């Protein structure tokens, strides 16, 4: 298990505010932490600079995972986390770019962040800038038509500065199955790599493989919704559920509560 500290912070944010999506945040937190640590040039000094790389969380309901990573990298302060869901705070169940440093897009309605990231990548190419753009989408989000519209645009505009990561936590399967996701993206002209979204080693390998690709790139990251706490894993009631006191204790126990 990696990043249990971040998972505990997510649980505490959401439980205190009684709002948020714990399992969806757990499925992406390792990925977001990895890209901030190893892939992107984003830090508290360059957060408003045109030299920064861009991370767009297209599946906005995983916002808590982004917040705790931004906090880890000192872009958000502890006091910001404490204000989660409060009227005087800057954080909530879906991210808002006009309020929150490090949040590049106000997402929540699925299918917006990815085409927006396509525009950012296109703009950076036009300006001959080398900044990287990474956007994280969900496999359920791949039901949206704009995902495939944007997939076509990115290939047609040759956006090799853009990397998409799909959080394949199998949300799609329980609703409307999307078979052969890899083949579909390949058919759209993307360089496709499959990785384990909870394994640093696997993500390192995936990014190494796509480093010199001349096409837009997509990493299909296999994940487990609710990863890290046995009874949160999978699909069902926990999608938007808030733990009670007893459940919180069990979650803390499974994550090995430390002084956080």
Cβ pair 32, 131 in contact under 8 A? no
Residue choice 6, 76, 137, 150 for contact with other proteins (CB under 8 A): 150
Residues 201-260 that bind other proteins (CB under 8 A): none
Provide the strand spans (E) within 90-186. Answer: 133-138, 162-168
In the bound state with other proteins, the residue whose beta carbon lies nearer, of 104 and 222, is 104
Binding mask 80-119 for other proteins (x = CB under 8 A): ----------------xxx-----xxx-xx-xx-xxxxxx
Cβ pair 147, 137 in contact under 8 A? yes
How many residues belong to the site for other proteins (CB under 8 A)?
32
Residue 145 binds other proteins, judged by CB under 8 A: yes
Query: Phi, psi (5° rounding) for residue 77?
Result: -90, 165
Residue 34 binds other proteins, judged by CB under 8 A: no
Residue 11 binds other proteins, judged by CB under 8 A: no
Question: Closest approach of Cβ 187 to other proteins, in Å?
Answer: 17
**What is d(CA 139, CA 62) in angstroms, rounded to the nearest whole number?**
13
In the bound state with other proteins, the residue whose beta carbon lies nearer, of 56 and 81, is 56
**What is d(CA 94, CA 23) in angstroms, rounded to the nearest whole number?**
15
Residues 113-132 that bind other proteins (CB under 8 A): 114-124, 126-127
Residue 156 binds other proteins, judged by CB under 8 A: yes
**What is d(CA 178, CA 121) in angstroms, rounded to the nearest whole number?**
27
Cβ pair 26, 235 in contact under 8 A? no
Secondary structure of residue 49 in the 3-state scheme = coil
Q: Considering only the stretches 28-36, 66-74, 153-161, 219-227, report the one whose residues sit in contact with other proteins under the rule CB under 8 A.
A: 153-161
């Amino acid at each position: 298990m990696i990043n249990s500290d971040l998972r505990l912070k997510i649980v505490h944010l959401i439980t205190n505010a009684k709002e948020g999506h714990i399992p969806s945040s757990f499925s992406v937190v390792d990925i977001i932490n990895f890209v901030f640590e190893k892939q992107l040039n984003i830090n508290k000094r360059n957060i408003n600079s045109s030299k920064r790389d861009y991370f767009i969380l297209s599946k906005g309901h995983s916002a808590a995972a982004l917040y705790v990573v931004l906090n880890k990298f000192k872009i958000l302060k502890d006091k910001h986390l404490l204000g989660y869901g409060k009227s005087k705070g800057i954080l909530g169940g879906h991210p808002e770019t006009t309020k929150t440093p490090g949040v590049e897009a106000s997402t929540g309605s699925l299918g917006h962040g990815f085409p927006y990231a396509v525009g950012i990548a296109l703009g950076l190419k036009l300006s001959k800038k080398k900044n990287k753009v990474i956007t994280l989408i969900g496999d359920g989000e791949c039901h949206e038509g704009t995902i495939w519209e944007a997939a076509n645009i990115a290939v047609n505009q040759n956006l090799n500065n853009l990397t998409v990561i799909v959080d394949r936590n199998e949300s799609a399967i329980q609703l409307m199955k999307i078979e052969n996701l890899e083949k579909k993206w390949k058919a759209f002209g993307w360089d496709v790599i499959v990785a384990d979204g909870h394994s640093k080693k696997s993500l390192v390998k995936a990014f190494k493989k796509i480093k010199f690709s001349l096409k837009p790139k997509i990493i299909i990251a296999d994940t487990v919704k609710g990863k890290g706490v046995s009874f949160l894993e999978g699909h069902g009631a926990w999608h938007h559920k808030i733990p009670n006191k007893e459940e919180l204790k069990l979650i803390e126990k499974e994550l090995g509560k430390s002084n956080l």
